[in-house]
Each structure stands twice: as structure tokens, then as C-alpha cells.
Structure 1
Amino acid sequence: MNDWFENEDFWVQYAPIMFDSSRWAEASAVAEGIFKLAGKDRDPHSLHILDAGCGLGRISVELALCGAQVTGVDMIRPFLDAGAEAAAAEKVEIEWVQADLRNFVRPAAFDIAVNMYTSFGYCKTIQEDAQILHNIAESVKPDGFFILEMLGREIAVRDFTAGEWFERAGYTVLTDFSVEGAWEGLRSHWQLYTKEGLKADHCFVQRLYAATELRELLLKAGFHSVEIYGDFDRSPYNEKARTMILLAQKSS
């Protein structure tokens, strides 16, 4: 049986909800934050960047607009097709690869790799998650960087809500959240309604990691240093953190 995140119908149906206009609007700032975090002062045209789990290509396109050579990898073909259309509209060239990050490796090919917008922790086992991090480490050049943006367990605990409803993309969206195990995962139940009634109903679990747990996984994966921040501006990962950003670097 396929994992839930391999279901193309789910992503196509829920994409307008997850990637609303505010997510597209923030893409340029995220791209700028990536360059600043990695401390890459040289010409972006010389940089090869892997967008691991690129989705619709929001960040891939912005990185390419800055001049970087970008490879976007995702399992979902409709997302890659949409990314290709966005790239064509912006007149930038991006390499789009349909692949499972548990298997994708391109040894020492990238100056920077990124995984944005909590696109990690979907696998059934920690070992599979660790394999993804190992593959990314293998794909990053010596002295290269990997930037991971996640919902940390600390923030999930701080901001937990049992559910909410809102209007978006022509739907009334009902959400229900519950904790798996000892805060090992977050179960999300999403229902989409129109005036005609229920149109979609999906439940999935995403593993939650504490910042220190992810740092250990990254070090074991092959990175020699890992810094933890609460935003792209290198603000502390503390009780005021907006998100969790891990900046991992390979040794030379």
C-alpha cells in the first residue's frame, strides 16, 4: 500500500488550501532568506540548488529568478507540471525531477539544498526520514549547506489547537487536530465543503521532531555542524520563534 503522501489526488485537491495567496506572496522573501542563511555572497549564477520536495515550485522559481541553477524534486507529477508552467511564465529554466527523496541522490552536486514549509516527517519510520537526510547530505558539495524549515515539536505544543474552520479557495474548510503518542506526531483531519456538501475528507499524520532531535539526525546523516534558528533572520529558536530553521553544513 502506498504512503498517504504518494496520493496525487490528495495534493491536487488540497493544494489551493495549503498553498494560498499568502504562501505565494512570501516566496521571494524566503528565497532571500535562504541566500542570507547560507552566507553565499558570490554571484547566485554560480550556485546549484536542490529544492527537495519542491511542490508547486514556489521557492524553486524565486531562487531561479535570483540567478541560481535550480533542480526541483518531488513525487507529485501535477505539482512538477505546475512548477514548469510557473517557470515558463517567469522565463527561467529549472530542472524538474519526479523522484522519491528516499531514493534520490546526486553525489556532491549542489551548493545548497533546501526543504521548505514543513515538507519532512511524512514517512512511517524515523529510519526512512533519516534516509532522506542522508541522501541530501550525499547530494551536497563539501562546504555546502542544507536548510530545513519545519514545524518543531516545541512550536506544535505551544500553538496546539483542537481544530478550526475558515473559508478559502471557494471552500469551507474544517480541521481537527490530535496528538499521536507522546507528541510523536500530529494527526490532521481536513474536510472541504461547498454549498452542495462535503467534497473532500482526508486524515494524515506527520511526525514531530524536537529541534535537538533533528540536529542529531542531521549530524548522523553526514553534516558536520547544525545551527538552529526561529526564523530566516537567525533569530533564536525560543518561546518567541515563528518557525524552526535548521542550517546544516558539510565539512570541506
Structure 2
Amino acid sequence: MFDEARWAEVPTVVDNLLKLSSLAPGGRILDICCGVGRHSVELASRGYRVTGIDLTRAYLDAAKETAGAVLGDGAAAFPEFLREDARRFVRPGSYNLCINLFTSFGYFATREEDILLLKNSAKNLLPGGCLVIETVSKETAARDFISDEEFERAGWQVRTEYEVVGDWEGELNRWILRKGSILIDRSFVLRLYSGFEMKNALKEAGFASVDIYGGLDGRPYDDKADSLVAVARI
């Protein structure tokens, strides 16, 4: 559920991503939890060879529709969209860059499953490749915590409610969406990592070096950080 502002920011997000990762033109990219394909389609439009994986069929259908509208159905750079589980998807040595953006990490039931996603990412990378993760962290979640908020997005009236899980191990999110007679009520837990914990998790998964930033623009990870961005290289 993305409004026009979220779509409009994609070119800048991709500009920053490419600069941060130092990816050469024409490289191969795996978009993990690609959702509706915002970043996959933009990257493909710039000549990168993109595979997007997600478990939600409706997201993948929307991604294919967007790619067709933007790129044309016969485009040579049309992304490959697959319904796959990131805990199981392995194509050893196939990609120059793996990405997991917009807080799409930390929703599995256990930390071990998170580590499995990271290990698979390391396996999927070519020598010299890197993984870029962008997510909410313990530090940013605690600093910006609110118990609830209400807003409108893409024609939906939205109410969100938040609770701290354990000793800041995670955050319980409840989203209540209304549009006319339609009501959607969903709850989920986001496992939170500090910058230090994320770096250790990536090294545990086999990455040789990890740099932590406070945004995709490469700003420092300090008290003014927008998010936690990890750039991990094999």
C-alpha cells in the first residue's frame, strides 16, 4: 500500500543504493521481499538484471503489472519475479548485489530464520558482491516510539498501534485499514536489531566486512539516523 509520495521517492532511493553498493552498470541484483516491485522495476529500467522474490502472490502480480507498464512486456531488462521463500531460495554465485529494503527483515518467527536469510544471501553473491539491508533498528524504534497514530494512505483510513515486545526484542504492530465497507485488521511482530547486533548477525552469516549507516544516503549511524542500513560484503 504505497501512495504517490512513496513511488516518487524511488529514483532517489535507487541512486543512493547504487552509490552505496558501488554496483557496476549491468550487474545482477536479487531483490529479497520485493513486494510490489518498486525498486526492482526502477533498477531494471536502468539496465540491471533483476530477480525479485516474495511470498505474497498479489504483490508479485502487481510488480509484473508495473513492470509491463513501465518497461513494456517485451523489454530485454524485464525483471524475473518469483514466488519464493527467502529462507530457501539459493542460486549460488548468481548476483552482484542482494537488497532487502523498506524494513522487510525481521518478520520470521525466530532469529535463526533471519540468519538463514542472511546466509542464503551470502551464498547467492558473486565474489566481490554485497548485501544491502535497510530497516528500523532498536535505536531508531526506541527514539521514535509512539503508541498509535492515524492517517490516510492511498485512499485507506489507517490506524496503527504499537507495543514493545520483551526487552525491546521486537515491536508488535497492529494495522487497521478501512475503505468504505472493507475492514482489514492485521498484527505482526518485527524483530529489532541494534546496529551492533546487525553487524554481528551478518558476520555470523559469513560476511567478511559490514558497514553500518544511518540511511541509504550514507549518513552516519548516530542519534540522527533515519534507519539502520547495513552494507555487507563477502
The TM-score, its normalising length taken from structure 1, stands at 0.88
CA–CA distance in structure 2, aligned partners of residues 160 and 121 of structure 1:
18
- For 1:90, what is the secondary structure of its paired residue? helix
Q: Which residue of 1 aligns with 2:230?
A: 246
Are 1:119 and 2:107 counterparts? no
Are 1:82 and 2:66 counterparts? no
- For 2:157, what is the secondary structure of its paired residue? strand
The answer to whether the 8 Å contact 2:134/2:216 transfers is no
CA offsets 1:10-50 (integer angstroms, 9 cap, x no match): xxxxxx2xx2222211111111111101123x4x12x0011
CA offsets 1:216-252 (integer angstroms, 9 cap, x no match): 11111111000000112211000001111100011xx
CA offsets 1:40-73 (integer angstroms, 9 cap, x no match): 3x4x12x001101100000000111111000111
**Structure with the higher fraction of residues in helix conformation:** 1
Letter in 1 for 2:59: F
- For 2:122, what is the secondary structure of its paired residue? helix
> Could you say if the C-alpha distance between residues 38 and 205 of structure 1 is closer, same or farther in structure 2, counting changes exceeding 3 Å?
same
The TM-score, its normalising length taken from structure 2, stands at 0.94
Q: Which residue of 2 aligns with 1:142?
A: 127
Q: Which residue of 1 aligns with 2:15?
A: 32
CA offsets 1:164-192 (integer angstroms, 9 cap, x no match): 11122333211111100000010011112
CA-based RMSD: 1.2
Are 1:50 and 2:34 counterparts? no
User: Which consecutive residues of structure 2, in runs of 5 or more, have no partner in the other structure?
Assistant: 72-76
CA offsets 1:74-117 (integer angstroms, 9 cap, x no match): 11111111111111112241111110001001101000110000
Are 1:184 and 2:164 counterparts? no
Q: Which residue of 2 aligns with 1:3?
A: none
Identity over the aligned pairs, expressed in percent?
43
- For 2:69, what is the secondary structure of its paired residue? helix
Q: Which residue of 2 aligns with 1:11?
A: none
- For 1:117, what is the secondary structure of its paired residue? coil
- Shifted more, 99-108 versus 77-86: the winner is 77-86
